[in-house]
Structure 1
Amino acid sequence: MENLSSLKMTLLAAVVTAAMAVPLPASAQAHSGHATHNGATQSPAASAVSPDTGSAVKQEAEQGAMDGAGMDHGAMQTQGGSAPADARDPNAYSEGYMRNAGKYALPPSQALRMSDEHNFASVYLDRLEYVRARGQEWGTYDGEAWYGGTYNRAALKAEGEVAGGKLRDSRTQVLWRHAVSTFWDTELGLRFDHGQGMPNRQWLALGFKGLAPYWFDVDATAFVGPNGRTALWLKTEYDVLLIQRLYLQPSIEVNLYGKDDERRGIGSGLANGTAGLRLKYEITRQVTPYIGVEWASSFGKTADYARAAGEPKQETRFVAGVSLRF
């Protein structure tokens, strides 16, 4: 009995080995795992695909591809062509007006322009104020107007003092302004000084104006006049925002001259300077009233000329005014 059992085991092992050595078709290997999906069973005979069957499937696929190649794709409708008979009139909502005909027709010579080729204009009165110091009162103005495009503009800058209904002192500049970068302009032109009871002066002006880092407004100009006269004017301002429309504006302004001008009470070197603090409130972008205080000082020979004329070397001024922009 033991020999019979050993013989059965040997025969069974040989059958298993022979079955494992037989290769399966590729389709049966790839999809054999799906035979039990949804609880379905499939016999080994059904899962095997003969070479003749695979060849027939391949021939049918090739025949289908050939039939598709013979389709007439040129007969398919694409976009374009004439508008349908019931299409909306393109001029129905413009009341018949067209860009190249009728009221809005452009002359043949006119071409479209970019935005930086248009000209604009602006008038800005930075200070139109009432001043009181040492029991005396007068008015001052400081502003500019310009006309031009993004890169080149004609500018007029003016500042002065009015007392007793008369123009006591004024400085007017006529300039050509050119943008050299995003935040900076250069200026070239003429300056005219006028003073009551004093000789007038003319200067050639060259300067720059712009926005420095940390939002400081900077304005600096050098001047050259007849008889070797030279001057330098510097001004800077900064806005300290308190709330949305209320802000403080500290400012500093100085004047330097290359030589004495006794007839106008000006000495060489650092002649005079002012430091101010104004509290401004923007009612609108165009109208900004303010109040403030300003400290003015004379230096060197300019201070000597002031004392000789009975004027103080230093004084504190209280101001109230409005800034206007058009």
Structure 2
Amino acid sequence: MTRLAMHLPVAVALALASPVFAQDHSKHDMPGMSSPPASDHAGHDMGHQPHHTTPDKPAQPEPPHEHGKMHGQDAPSAHAGHDMSAMSPDEPVGTNQPAGNAPAPRPPVDHYADRQFPPAEMAHARHMMMRESGGQTIATLMLNLAEYRARKGRDGYHWDGEAWFGGDINRLTVKAEGEGLFQGCVEAAEVQALYSRAIGPYFNLQAGVRHDFEPGPSRSYAVVGFEGLAPYWFEIEGALFLSDKGDLLGRLSGYYDQRITQRLVLQPRAELDIAAQDIPENRIGAGFSSAEAGLRLRYEITRQFAPYVGLSHEARIGRTARLARADGEAATSTSFVAGLRIWF
């Protein structure tokens, strides 16, 4: 009995331990995990679990492809629906793919406001905006020179102005210029009517007619010329004149506005006349016929209204100077000038 009592605790302990070793792992259903069959666990290192081997059956090295299955690299459940074998390292993906032939998407609505307001009213508003942004028709009248000239014994006057009507590209331009004496008559007067066409941001090409009222006999000319803003802000103007008698004349003029202050402006100005042949009835000789150079200082009370003072020197050149001396006239003259520059 004594020996039986000694072996009874050992038997009870073995009976309690035997169900633990007899458990089947296939009966365990843990959420999120699917356990492979018991036969697949042979020879695998299960994380922190010890690797059990039996003395009569040494552990076998795991195949390379089996290890990937345990870590989910090739598990069918992780890549369901993906054809991984169809992808090649050199196959273009994303934006590297060739352009397709699918139709382009529809552009956004150009005039979104038409959805909220009557389209006819919005079309009229857009038309007015385009006109006000450069397509409008406007008119300008500018009197560049309207001055009194004080000369020794020959005080006189001089005017030079233009008016134009039109837009930024096409304009009708009228120019007028002349001079005379207070104690005499008008010595020179001309009017030009020109079509002006913009040929660039800074220059206009002009063509039309000119008529000289004085000196007599009067002449009419066909005109081709240009005007514009040269580099460094020089305003220049040039023209050729072919008269109804076959006389060919040319003229080149320019000026520059040098701002001393925002209101005080110094303006040098020059003009040169050329004749292709002698015109005895108008006392003009071939070649360079006359030149004028002036310097005027103006004060702009407003941009549109500016009084000025200055000096002007006129000279007849070459054959024209000889014709003037033959008539008892001086070939050169210098004048003190005072006048107004007005535009509106």
TM tier relative to shorter chain: 0.5 to 0.7
Matched, 1:125 2:143: yes
Is 2:157–2:182's contact at 8 Å kept on the other side of the alignment?
Answer: no
Structure 1 distance, partners of 2:316, 2:272, is 10
Deviation at 1:167, TM superposition (A): 3.2
Secondary structure of the corresponding residue to residue 161 of structure 2: strand
Corresponding residue for residue 159 of structure 2: 141
CA distance 1:298–1:111, change in 2 (3 Å): closer
Structure 2 distance, partners of 1:112, 1:236, is 36
The AA in structure 2 aligned to 1:118 is Q
Corresponding residue for residue 338 of structure 2: 320
Secondary structure of the corresponding residue to residue 329 of structure 2: coil
User: Greater CA radius of gyration, 1 or 2?
Assistant: 2
Deviation at 1:266, TM superposition (A): 0.8
The AA in structure 1 aligned to 2:324 is A
Aligned ranges 1:35-184 → 2 under 5 Å: 113-114=130-131, 115-164=133-182, 166-184=185-203
Structure 2 distance, partners of 1:225, 1:136, is 31
Where does structure 2 lack aligned partners over 5 or more consecutive residues? 1-47, 49-70, 73-115
The AA in structure 1 aligned to 2:286 is S
1:83-104 Cα distance to aligned partner (Å, 9 max, x none): xxxxxxx99xxxxxx9969xxx
Match of 1:256 among 274, 290, 296: 274
Match of 1:287 among 297, 305, 316: 305
1:194-253 Cα distance to aligned partner (Å, 9 max, x none): 115x20011100001001111111000011113321010000111122111112111110
Where does structure 1 lack aligned partners over 5 or more consecutive residues? 1-44, 46-53, 56-89, 92-97
Corresponding residue for residue 235 of structure 1: 253
Aligned ranges 1:195-206 → 2 under 5 Å: 195=214, 198-206=216-224
Match of 1:186 among 205, 229, 234: 205
Match of 1:269 among 284, 287, 302: 287
Matched, 1:299 2:317: yes
Structure 1 distance, partners of 2:153, 2:128, is 62
Aligned ranges 1:199-218 → 2 under 5 Å: 199-218=217-236
1:275-319 Cα distance to aligned partner (Å, 9 max, x none): 111011111010011000011111112111211222111111110
Deviation at 1:113, TM superposition (A): 4.7
Percent identical: 36
Corresponding residue for residue 48 of structure 1: none
Matched, 1:247 2:236: no
1:123-174 Cα distance to aligned partner (Å, 9 max, x none): 0000000001122211111000000011000000000113338433201100
TM-score by length of 2: 0.62
The AA in structure 1 aligned to 2:233 is W
Corresponding residue for residue 10 of structure 2: none
Superposed CA RMSD: 3.6
Detail structure 1 runs of 4+ shifted over 2 Å in the superposition.
98-101, 110-117, 162-168
1:170-205 Cα distance to aligned partner (Å, 9 max, x none): 011000000000000000000111115x20011100
Is 2:235–2:254's contact at 8 Å kept on the other side of the alignment?
Answer: yes
The AA in structure 1 aligned to 2:327 is A
Is 2:154–2:181's contact at 8 Å kept on the other side of the alignment?
Answer: no
